[in-house]
């Protein structure tokens, strides 16, 4: 039986980099129990995509002007401009063709915006034709403080290169640590049609309840009013039905 083409393929360039991991619907067990059991909207978002990790433990320090970095075993803080992952240059050049010798991507780069750092995960990424990757902070997983991560959509079916994220340090004078065993970002597959202008322009507004159709009112009653009036209704009805639809493979299953 022919295997389907993967929608995403990750390439490990830094040996120590942890492989991407399917994102967990319980957000690594951090979601409240009630959310995990009854809120399919939250768990579906948490489990959509793959977690991607930093390739090593690293600490960053911003004094308001300059960003510094260090790692376990280093004896001092180093001012950050652009830094290669330790010992990567020789390993990269040994694998790359001659015309790419010296072209290993930097691990950390201080960007012109104050307190902003580009962090490479040690991975490259490629997607199937017509698919992109949304690179964003892990959904519904709140493990880190001291920085925020930007979101970006990369057309990885057309552009092949390092999978990185840009973070903005939000405090000064106190070290911010990135952990190799904690997700730094979540990579989510998006069909390009989902965010093109034709799709995003195809939005309308129903401006008042008087303009609702009979179908709209019927659907509202089925979703909200009728279940709310049933004193014996089960908890998590939406979550139960959503799980059943996923198992059946039919998005329109009742």
146: left (phi over 0), alpha (psi -120 to 50) or beta: left
List, for residues 74-113, the tens digit of each pLDDT value. Answer: 989 999 999 999 999 999 999 999 999 999 999 999 999 9
For 94, the 3-state DSSP assignment is helix
pLDDT value at residue 3? 53
Q: What count of Cα atoms within 13 Å lies in the side-chain half-sphere of residue 186?
A: 19
pLDDT value at residue 182? 94
Return the biggest CA–CA distance within the chain: 72
pLDDT value at residue 251? 44
Contact 91, 157 (CB under 8 A): no
pLDDT value at residue 4? 64
Which pTM was predicted? 0.85
**Which parts of the chain have pLDDT scores under 50?**
1, 250-254
């Amino acid at each position: 039986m022919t295997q389907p083409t993967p929608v995403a393929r990750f390439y490990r360039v830094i040996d120590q980099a942890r492989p991407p991991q399917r994102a967990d619907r319980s957000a690594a067990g951090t979601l409240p129990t009630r959310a995990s059991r009854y809120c399919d909207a939250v768990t579906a978002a948490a489990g959509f995509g793959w977690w991607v990790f930093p390739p090593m433990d690293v600490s960053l320090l911003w004094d308001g002007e300059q960003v510094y970095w260090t790692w376990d075993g280093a004896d001092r803080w180093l001012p950050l401009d652009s830094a290669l992952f330790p010992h990567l240059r020789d390993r990269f050049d040994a694998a790359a063709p001659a015309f790419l010798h010296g072209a290993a991507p930097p691990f950390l780069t201080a960007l012109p915006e104050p307190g902003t750092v580009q962090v490479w995960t040690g991975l490259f990424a490629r997607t199937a034709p017509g698919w992109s990757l949304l690179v964003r902070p892990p959904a519904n997983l709140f493990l880190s403080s001291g920085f925020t991560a930007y979101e970006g959509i990369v057309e990885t079916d057309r552009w092949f290169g390092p999978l990185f994220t840009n973070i903005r340090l939000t405090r000064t004078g106190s070290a911010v640590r990135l952990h190799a065993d904690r997700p730094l970002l979540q990579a989510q597959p998006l069909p390009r049609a989902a965010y093109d202008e034709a799709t995003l322009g195809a939005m309308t507004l129903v401006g008042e309840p008087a303009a609702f159709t009979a179908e709209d009112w019927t659907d509202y009653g089925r979703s909200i009013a009728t279940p709310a009036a049933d004193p014996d209704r089960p908890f998590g009805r939406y979550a139960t039905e959503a799980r059943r639809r996923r198992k059946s493979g039919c998005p329109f299953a009742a």
